[in-house]
Structure 1
Amino acid sequence: MGGFPGEKSPIFGRFQLLLLALAAVSYISTPAAFAQEVAILIRFKQNLEKQAQGELPDLFQSWKSTDSSPCKWEGISCDSKSGLVTEINLADLQIDAGEGVPPVVCELPSLESLNLGNNEIGGGFPQHLFQCSSLKSLNLSMNLFVGLLPNNISALTKLENLDLCGNNFTGEIPPGFGRLPSLLELNLTNNLLNGTVPGFLGQLSNLQRLDLAYNPMAEGPIPEELGRLTKLRNLILTKINLVGKIPESLGNLVELEEILDLSWNGLSGSLPASLFNLHKLKLLELYDNQLEGEIPANIFNLTSITDIDISNNRLTGSIPSGITQLKSLRLLHLWQNELTGAIPEGIQDLGDFFELRLFKNNFTGRIPQKLGSNGKLEVFDVSNNMLEGPIPPELCKSKRLVELILFNNGITGGIPDSYGSCPSVERILMNNNKLNGSIPPGIWNTEHAYIVDLSENELSGSISSEISKASNLTTLNLYGNKLSGPLPPELGDIPDLTRLQLYGNMFEGELPSQLGQLSRLNVLFVHDNKLEGQIPKALGMCKDLAQLNLAGNQLTGSIPESLGDISGLTLLDLSRNMLTGDIPLSIGEIKFSSFNVSYNRLSGRVPDGLANGAFDSSFIGNPELCASSESSGSRHGRVGLLGYVIGGTFAAAALLFIVGSWLFVRKYRQMKSGDSSRSWSMTSFHKLPFNHVGVIESLDEDNVLGSGGAGKVYLGKLSNGQAVAVKKLWSAAKKGDDSASQKYERSFQAEVETLGKLRHKNIVKLLFCYTCDDDKFLVYDYMENGSLGEMLHSKKAGRGLDWPARHRIALGAAEGLAYLHHDYKPQVLHCDVKSNNILLDAELEPHVADFGLARIIQQHGNGVSMTSIAGTYGYIAPEYAYTLKVTEKSDIYSFGVVLLELVTGKRPIEAEFGDGVDIVRWVCDKIQARNSLAEIFDSRIPSYFHEDMMLMLRVGLLCTSALPVQRPGMKEVVQMLVEARPKEKILAKQAV
């Protein structure tokens, strides 16, 4: 077999080559090579150290230049054979490197994996990484990178995993991303990419995961080419402005296993039947689109499916019976569609089923009566349908049921006794049905329930004294039933109760004085019952009460003086009772939006604060009640002669308004060089029981409250003596700058248009405004305690805020912002949330103010672009500084900074933090270094509040997450702050 003598055989030649290769490896892996890699990594560390301007995380302490090899260093992995570095993992260390990734890293010849995720590394995409020719995995996620994605990414031919999520990359996905033949995973989630989904991604034939979610991309379709990715296991295209139909080609993705998520887009058309043949798929997420038509009948082919969510679309037809064959199904969300028919009976036989949400459809028939018998049900919501028949008795068989929601149906029968032993339930909403019978006493043993609503049914019987066991209840609605008997005193033992609505029943007996123990009660409606006796004086202890309605009962005695102590009361209705005596003067000092004491037996004078046209019909049916302008003995002053009161009130109001406006204009003209050509315009936003004369006299330097970028604020007084804050905006004309003039006008218009329409107790009230050419004045309610920033950071004695007050301020401000973001339409973004823009009244009730930068969002989803950075340094969300685009998450970040101020007592920027470090970074550094919480918390707050402070600290850190998508919504923030209320035992300790 060998060759001729003197010749080398081919086998020998190949053996020689192998020896040479081994020799080369042996040469590379010498101690000198190890020392070289030590030197490279030390230079890498020094570069990071220089950028961080301080100490690096503790991990780097193991990196020592005296070591012969880096393989035992933390964050470093080496090849088991060659001993060379193959992996650097420095994720989750909060490394601050604003100039980017040190280039020296690519001098490591065998580097295959670089993980720098979840740090604070900035700059553009590090182009020098293309020299890391062996790189297979690159993770730069959750950093501060900006700029365009690199087209020459295709130079990394061996790349298998690329994770760039959670940065601020902009522009389109470049074609180079379609030329990565080895790529298995591509994650570009939560950036600022604004192109469409490119079809060339369909060329990535080995791709197993594609995630482009949460990018403000341009409207565009799902490319048909994605159907070529036949090895794909995960496809996530959430909230990227997709439109058009779902292509049938996605049915070719037969290896889809984990998730197909096309939710939060604008997709339309029918559901492709091919999607329902993906037999390996576990999670199908298609919610929040505009899909229509019926659910395909071949749904039974989704044999591995566990979760289906097609909610908030326009689906019609019934639920296919084949859904009952999906034995692994755990979760089904089809809410807010136009589905009809019955709920398939076979759903009750699915063994792993635990969550069903079908609300806001047109389902009919009975609820399957054995639903819940599998012992795993946790959420059941079929509200807003047309369901009939009884409540299934076994929904809580699992003892794990959290939500039981049936409202707005035609459900009949009684509430099963089995729900008297459902300790896990948190929300029971059965209102507006046809339920009858009594309320099972055991239902009050649900110690975790925070809302129970059984209103608008035909329930009878009484409220059990067992109700005191529902200790976490915040809302109890039983109105519109046939309940009777006395109100149990035990209602006063529910410490967190904020809404108690029992009206429209047949309750009798006296109103329990124990209700005065409900310190957090905000709404008490017990009107239209058969209650008798006197109004308890103890109700005056309910300092948070905003709405009190006791009308239509048989109450006697006088109106308690103590009700005048509830300064935040906006609605008081005591009409249609048998009350006697005077109206307490203290009640006349409250600023009501609704007040009614008609049809009683009251006498004496009407307090001055109530004697105005706004409440002209509030005193009818009290013949012995006199208007305050008349003597107590004058029969002409009787409120029973209503014509005098109404006519006189309107005439006086009209006269005062005309005279007041004329005097204002004349006075201002005199003060402004007698310019008789100027024409003033006044706009009022509230029905006010006084005229506006005297406002202009407030423009005196002795009355200046403060001055800012938009103008100067004066303390003024109206003709009735009410203190107001008058904001005079800087005149743009004096600046001689057209852009300044436009900005000035825009600021004024934003504040007027926004505030003039808002109605919330935690939003500062704009009373009226005056304009004349460039002179503009805004008149607000005066806030006696100034701003939160002033009070929190003032060094004056006695200006500190205790923890309960700080919590109340945080919660109130959060509720105001939640109103702007969620309840007011169109949505309003404040754009300059900070402690100095949260004003405090005499009771330390917070009012969000200064809407000069506010933006109104006509369409949700994309935010608003600004032409320059607006906001205040220290409060601006990190992504905003790069993109000049505001969303509700920008406000939430700023509010998170305010929460950190409340917890720490420090300003957003302090010298002690160091250069370039704000309060968010300072707090994170303290936590990262495992410092004592006492070093973070405001030392003026006693340590027994630290547990409660920790709860608010967590909320603040959530709000200031670097990734906008990780920040909660304002309604979630409100809920978290409600749950973070100071504990009663701590408040008792403070009182001692």
Structure 2
Amino acid sequence: MSPASISSTHILLLSLTIIIIMIIPSSSQSNPLQILLKFKTNLSNSNTKIFTSWTEHNPVCNFTGIVCDRANNVKEINLSEQRLVGTVDFGLTCSLKSLQKVSLGSNLLHGTISSNLSHCTSLKHLGLENNSFTGQFPWKSLVKLTSLTHLSLGDNPFDISPFPLEILNLRMLQTLYLTNCSIEGTIPEDIRKLESLQRLELSDNFLVGEIPTGITKLVNLQVLELYDNRLSGIFPTGFGNLPMLSKLDVSNNSLEGDLSELRSLRSITSLQLFENNFSGEIPVEFGEFRLLQQFSIYNNRFTGELPEKIGSWADFEYIDVSENFLTGKIPPDMCKNGKIYDILMLQNNFTGGLPENYANCSSLERLRVSNNSLSGRIPVGIWSLPRLKLIDLAMNQFEGPVTGNIGEAKSLAQLFVSNNRLSGELPEEISNVSSLVEMELMYNQFSGGIPVRIGELKSLNSLHLEGNLFSGGIPQSIGSCVSLNDINLAGNSLSGDIPASLGSLRGLNSLNVSDNKLSGVIPASLSSLKLSLIDLSNNMLVGRVPESLLAEAYDGSFAGNPGLCADNGKSLRQCSSVSHRSSGLGVAKYCFIAGAFMLVFSVACFVLVKSRAKDCDNLTNRGFSWDMKQFHVISFDEGEILGSLIPRNLIGKGGSGNVYKVELGCGKKLAVKHMWRSGLDSGDPRSYSSSATILPKKKCRWPEYDAEVATLSSIRHVNVVKLYCSITNDDSNLLVYEYMPNGSLWDRLHTYKKAEMDWNVRYKIAMGAAKGLEYLHHGCDRPVIHRDVKSSNILLDEEMKPKIADFGLAKIMQTNKVTNSSHVIAGTYGYIAPEYGYTFNVTEKSDIYSFGVVLMELVTRRKPVEPEFGENKDIVRWVHDEMRNKEDMIGLVDPNISDESKRDASKVLTIAIRCTMQFPAQRPSMKTVVQMLEHIEPRSPIDIVIGDIVKD
């Protein structure tokens, strides 16, 4: 070959190489395999099982979640609800030119969405709902996506924006889901242009103004959801001309007027109008809605009677007409097809009795007709309905007994029949209702004794029998109701002693047995309780009031008991005082007897102490062993801890144990929790000998201890309290934590230890606590549900930084389900989410509700429950009601917060309101809560000054 030809060949090869180099990057960008593998790389922290088929050696059409067309082009990406974590590059994804569907909803995706979305010109279905995408959504990128039939962007914390007019060009759109994505302003009249719409969901935004008339032109509309906005005005004329509308939800707005425009919605299956300002009568045509299954209009101003036939045609599921001014009788046939599970009609003016038909309604789960003018006897079958969880008949004029068949009500958790004219004895069979959690029978005419087997109600949390005619003694078995935290037996004719077994109810919070005929001494066992309320007044009690009870009492707690005395009681006579009017002989006799008794008692104590000391020496000689498990690097041993657990170091008592402050030789401070002993005199510091050995009694396990260790041992987060180690033996369980010198948030807000906290401090507490909960819900391998979030479980370090504490009730989630469930209500009154009223399923949304209560405390400095909120109200109801009645929330803010910070504080109150929505699905995730709080971070003084300079 000639040199010339060789040179030509080299030139040709070089040219081909350059062309190949230029082509390769371009082809790789359009190569479905490389695109999807890059897509997978961006989601590296996700559930790896989903991507096991996503390999270089597998055809892309065999990838899990990928659908191809006949030409093997990628047509669909279906990966919703797969716990995907990471970001999405739409510039990369949209290079799949045949892509028609992207479904990534209900994951943990984050980041912003770029305008490269406009390259997905073949896209028909875009589902990104229920993630954590932030920033401004690129609405203009939708202009080119004219083939879209399904657009779902809701439940993402986007930046606030007006209603995106670009959507009005998507004429083929059938589904539009923009719920909870920060849209403000009005719904445009030109919404009428989307003539193909079947589902329009714009709920949980900041929309104002009236419902536009344009919506009445969407004749294909089947679902319209506009709930949780600020809409006003009436239903527009012609609204009834939506022949296919089956689901309408405009709840929680400020809409008004009557319902005459809805009378021709014959296809309606679900009608949700609650929490508005509607008025007038319910159209009689509603009684002929033959497809109606769900009807909820509570908290309006409706008058008149309900149509007699309402709910009697289809498989009617529930009715809630509570908090209106309705009259007449309860419709009799709503359980005609045996499907209804909720009848909620409280706080109206209904008359007559409960229809006999409902005595056979085996599907019924909740019956609430309290606060009406109902009368007559309760149909006997009501008491024993198999699925009934809640019976609420309070504040009526019902008569007759609670019948013995109530023992067959195996699902009953809440029984509220107070303020009626019920009479007779409480049947012993009620002790068979093992699921019973709350029992409120007060202010009736019940007589006879309290059932002696009441102790079999292990799940009973609240017992209210006050204001009746009960007689006899308080059963000793009541001490076996291990879940009780609230007992009120006041205003009866009970006699005998106060049972010492009450002292074993370690969770008891409130005890009221006033205005009875109780006698004897106050049991010493009550001293171990941590009571927030005790009232033993107006009985015939005698003897010394235990000193620990005086600290929990108010001035009248022991009044009306002439035989009681106290050493330090303000309103009680001094036990040490002896009347000088007594005869000398009587006094001498008294002194002699007392002296002899004290001598015998002293000798006995001396012998006992010596015996105990000998026993301790023997235990020490036997090498009694301790098991210490370390979860962090520590520089102390169990001896240094145990030697400090003495009464003078006691700094607190909780529902699950005593807490001691321990200062090590090096100066480091620790907090040590000694878990309560079940069935023993829990937490008695005398259990500790001088050699720091706890006397063994009985080997057992404590669920709260196991839960706390299991939860905290693996957690590493700056806003979760640090567990250094656990120390155990056959008898004792100790947890060693970092010490938090500023106590709890509850202390700093509500007690004598309260501190003046400016808004910056409060905001940092809110943000830190939110991040701690976010970590528990989203940052652990398996989500952790705390179940007892409250201000007293948020501890503050020396810099007022918060840390979540007390995980005795925590549950670890497995495959989106709790490891176990319980019919015992977990948590603290005032913080408990409302879903506990009808279900005992525990989810992270219950924690979010409780955290919303904490935010309200921080902003208002009000306690979760205060008398001025009104009867049956807590801080959540109070804030929601005040919000509804006032245009400006600033009036709810703690006056001690500076004027320039009150606007920011009111924004946090808005977040709290979202956290405490009635239905769990309406509450944001903790990840979203953190993002919302980040958006309203207070500016520093320097930022304010710079901002003012720039403005000028």
TM-score normalised per structure 1? 0.59
What do residues 352-386 of structure 1 show as CA deviations (whole Å, max 9, x unaligned)? 11111111222222122221221421111111222
What do residues 484-519 of structure 1 show as CA deviations (whole Å, max 9, x unaligned)? 221111111111111111111111112121212212
Residue aligning to 1:200: 141
2:207 is the alignment partner of 1:267: yes
2:127 is the alignment partner of 1:187: yes
1:578 pairs, out of 517, 540, 551, with 517
Paired with 1:572 and 1:175, the residues of 2 have a C-alpha distance of 63
Change over 3 Å in CA distance of 1:291–1:202 after alignment to 2: farther
Residue aligning to 1:236: 177
Q: Secondary structure at the match of 1:432?
A: coil
Q: Secondary structure at the match of 2:240?
A: helix
What do residues 894-931 of structure 1 show as CA deviations (whole Å, max 9, x unaligned)? 99997459xxxxxxxxxxxxxxxxx979x99xx9xxxx
Would you say the 8 A contact 2:246–2:270 is kept in 1? yes
Paired with 1:371 and 1:532, the residues of 2 have a C-alpha distance of 45
Paired with 2:744 and 2:498, the residues of 1 have a C-alpha distance of 45
Q: Secondary structure at the match of 1:275?
A: helix
2:492 is the alignment partner of 1:553: yes
Query: Displacement of 1:619 after TM fit?
Result: 1.6
1:275 partner letter: I
Residue aligning to 2:190: 249
Q: Secondary structure at the match of 2:410?
A: coil
Would you say the 8 A contact 2:707–2:808 is kept in 1? no
Q: What percentage of residue pairs aligned between the two structures are identical?
A: 30
2:178 partner letter: L
Query: Displacement of 1:304 after TM fit?
Result: 1.0
Residue aligning to 1:214: 155
What do residues 712-758 of structure 1 show as CA deviations (whole Å, max 9, x unaligned)? 996797996674479xxxxxxxxxxxxxxxxxxxxxxxxxxxxxxxx
Residue aligning to 1:117: 65
Mapping of residues 689-708 of structure 1, within 5 Å: none
Which stretch has the larger CA shift, 855-864 or 775-784? 855-864
Residue aligning to 1:506: 445
1:478 pairs, out of 417, 432, 436, with 417
Change over 3 Å in CA distance of 1:611–1:597 after alignment to 2: same
1:284 partner letter: L
Residue aligning to 1:731: none
Would you say the 8 A contact 1:251–1:274 is kept in 2? yes
Paired with 1:810 and 1:345, the residues of 2 have a C-alpha distance of 56
Paired with 1:440 and 1:260, the residues of 2 have a C-alpha distance of 44
Change over 3 Å in CA distance of 1:361–1:386 after alignment to 2: same
Paired with 2:706 and 2:916, the residues of 1 have a C-alpha distance of 19
Q: Secondary structure at the match of 1:297?
A: coil
Query: Displacement of 1:612 after TM fit?
Result: 4.2
What do residues 75-94 of structure 1 show as CA deviations (whole Å, max 9, x unaligned)? xxxxxxxxxxxxxxxx9982
Query: Displacement of 1:337 after TM fit?
Result: 1.4
Paired with 1:408 and 1:503, the residues of 2 have a C-alpha distance of 18
Q: Secondary structure at the match of 1:316?
A: strand
Residue aligning to 1:443: 382
2:49 pairs, out of 58, 77, 94, with 94
Q: Secondary structure at the match of 1:580?
A: strand
Would you say the 8 A contact 2:491–2:516 is kept in 1? yes
Residue aligning to 2:166: 225
Change over 3 Å in CA distance of 1:49–1:302 after alignment to 2: closer
2:275 is the alignment partner of 1:336: yes
Residue aligning to 1:875: 780
Paired with 1:631 and 1:315, the residues of 2 have a C-alpha distance of 64
Change over 3 Å in CA distance of 1:387–1:844 after alignment to 2: farther
What do residues 556-597 of structure 1 show as CA deviations (whole Å, max 9, x unaligned)? 122222222323222111111111112222223322211111
Would you say the 8 A contact 2:634–2:724 is kept in 1? no
Gaps of 5+ in 1: 1-39, 54-90, 120-128, 639-701, 727-759, 787-796, 817-828, 880-887, 902-918, 928-932, 934-951, 961-966, 974-992
Q: Please tell me the root mean square deviation across aligned C-alpha atoms, in Å.
A: 5.8
Change over 3 Å in CA distance of 1:475–1:716 after alignment to 2: farther
Mapping of residues 497-646 of structure 1, within 5 Å: 497-612=436-551, 614-627=553-566, 634-635=577-578
Would you say the 8 A contact 2:428–2:451 is kept in 1? yes
Query: Displacement of 1:262 after TM fit?
Result: 1.4
Query: Displacement of 1:446 after TM fit?
Result: 1.2
Q: Secondary structure at the match of 1:622?
A: coil
Paired with 1:381 and 1:273, the residues of 2 have a C-alpha distance of 28
Would you say the 8 A contact 1:834–1:895 is kept in 2? no
Paired with 2:88 and 2:36, the residues of 1 have a C-alpha distance of 27
Mapping of residues 459-858 of structure 1, within 5 Å: 459-612=398-551, 614-627=553-566, 634-635=577-578, 723-724=650-651, 782-783=674-675, 806=703, 832=720
2:241 partner letter: N
Query: Displacement of 1:307 after TM fit?
Result: 0.9
TM-score normalised per structure 2? 0.61
Residue aligning to 2:878: none
What do residues 873-894 of structure 1 show as CA deviations (whole Å, max 9, x unaligned)? 9826799xxxxxxxx9xx99x9
Paired with 2:372 and 2:773, the residues of 1 have a C-alpha distance of 54
Would you say the 8 A contact 1:839–1:848 is kept in 2? no
Change over 3 Å in CA distance of 1:633–1:878 after alignment to 2: closer
Change over 3 Å in CA distance of 1:564–1:306 after alignment to 2: same
Query: Displacement of 1:475 after TM fit?
Result: 0.8
Paired with 1:597 and 1:451, the residues of 2 have a C-alpha distance of 31
Would you say the 8 A contact 1:554–1:577 is kept in 2? yes
Query: Displacement of 1:202 after TM fit?
Result: 2.9
Q: Secondary structure at the match of 1:497?
A: coil
Residue aligning to 2:113: 173
Residue aligning to 1:69: none
2:362 pairs, out of 420, 423, 447, with 423
Residue aligning to 1:327: 266
Which stretch has the larger CA shift, 170-179 or 288-297? 170-179
1:505 partner letter: N
Change over 3 Å in CA distance of 1:840–1:634 after alignment to 2: farther
Paired with 1:269 and 1:427, the residues of 2 have a C-alpha distance of 36
Residue aligning to 1:883: none
2:351 partner letter: T
Paired with 1:45 and 1:219, the residues of 2 have a C-alpha distance of 32
Would you say the 8 A contact 2:486–2:510 is kept in 1? yes
Change over 3 Å in CA distance of 1:236–1:711 after alignment to 2: farther
2:177 is the alignment partner of 1:285: no
